[in-house]
Amino acid sequence: MTKVEFTNLDKVLYPEANVTKAQVIQHYVRMAPRMLGILKNRPMVLTRFPDGVDKQGFYEKDMPLGTPSWVKTFKKHSESAGREINYIVCNDLDTLVWLANLAALELHMTLSKTDKFEKPDLLVFDADPEPPASIDEVVDVALMLKEKLDDLNLKSYVKTSGKKGLHVLVPIVPEYTFNQTRECVHQIGRHLALESSLVASEVSKPKKPGTVYIDYRQNSHGRTMVCPYSLRATPHATVSMPLDWGDVKKGLKPEEYTLSAVAKSESNPWKGMLENKQKLEKRVD
């Protein structure tokens, strides 16, 4: 059924939630039909926790030693690493299962694809609360953002980050550079910040208490975002969960989207997203 040889299936990776590696693999297998479309041809960065989330994990950009020959990789020079990196590309169920078996709990993906690596096909707005702001404020800001994007005639898609915030994505034609998409996301953030004191559009240190920061900097070459349906390395095995905009309202509790809670979910709020490639021209004044 799979090319992957499972190892240590009964190992507990989330001690507090008592989640084993078998359950982690099962989670990714269940989510695969909804994940594989968006993962296709996107270089991945893994966060691995071979000894569980309460122990030290590590980032992995380069393909690990012992990567089977059937796993697709993408060779690219990495500025930060200063050398050639062979990124993992997850185009099939076997690769996804293999990643899960590596205890790669968090899967992160680039915003562009291997065939046009310099031209992203996604805009991402990463909205994060700065206490005492909470998810309630993030919901408010996300809804303002959606309205703004609707005005610009851009259809947007939303997911929980799996932690405290929300990610809003806009699929686009891969014709713009990262400089252009980053500038676009930044500008929309600035517009919102002018309209609401709740929104912070600029990096500031320390962060302004009680605001929601819309991070635009992920829209950069080689940067990644956590994949939809990816687990997070949180004590309760939360998931970065795609939502219907209708579910983004007061009372939303991102921490309730845990591995066991989403196991039964079958809906696909992002259906048709990848076919909906939008142009940005004349939309931002």
91 binds another protein per the rule CB under 8 A: no
**Among residues 19, 32, 145, 158, which is the contact residue for another protein, using CB under 8 A?**
32
CA distance 114 to 99: 19
Measured distance CA(77)–CA(80) in Å, rounded: 9
Closer of 79 and 275 to another protein (Cβ)? 275
According to the binding rule CB under 8 A, does residue 41 interact with another protein?
no
Member of 12, 17, 26, 278 binding another protein (CB under 8 A)? 26
Question: What CA–CA distance (Å, rounded) separates 222 from 253?
Answer: 31
Q: Which is nearer to another protein, 85 or 97 (CB)?
A: 97
The structure tokens listed for 253 are 């509790």
User: Is 10 a binder of another protein (CB under 8 A)?
Assistant: yes
- Judged by CB under 8 A, the number of residues near another protein is 18
Q: Which of 12, 36, 198, 261 binds another protein (CB under 8 A)?
A: 36
Cα-flanking dihedrals φ and ψ of residue 49, to 5°?
-130, 70
Strand pairing report for 58-60 and 43-48: antiparallel
Of the two residues 5 and 281, which places its CB atom closer to another protein in the complex?
5
How far is Cα 192 from Cα 125, in angstroms, rounded to an integer?
Answer: 12
User: Which one, 2 or 179, has the nearer CB to another protein?
Assistant: 2
Task: Tell me the DSSP string of 90-139.
Answer: --SHHHHHHHHHTTEEEEEEESS-GGGTTS-SEEEEEEEE-TT--HHHHH
The stretch among 25-33, 55-63, 111-119, 154-162 that binds another protein (CB under 8 A) is 25-33
Q: Tell me the β-bridge partners of 160.
A: 166
The one segment of 32-40, 51-59, 176-184, 190-198 that binds another protein by CB under 8 A: 32-40
Interface contacts to another protein, rule CB under 8 A: 1-3, 5-6, 9-10, 20, 22, 25-26, 29-30, 32-33, 36, 93, 97
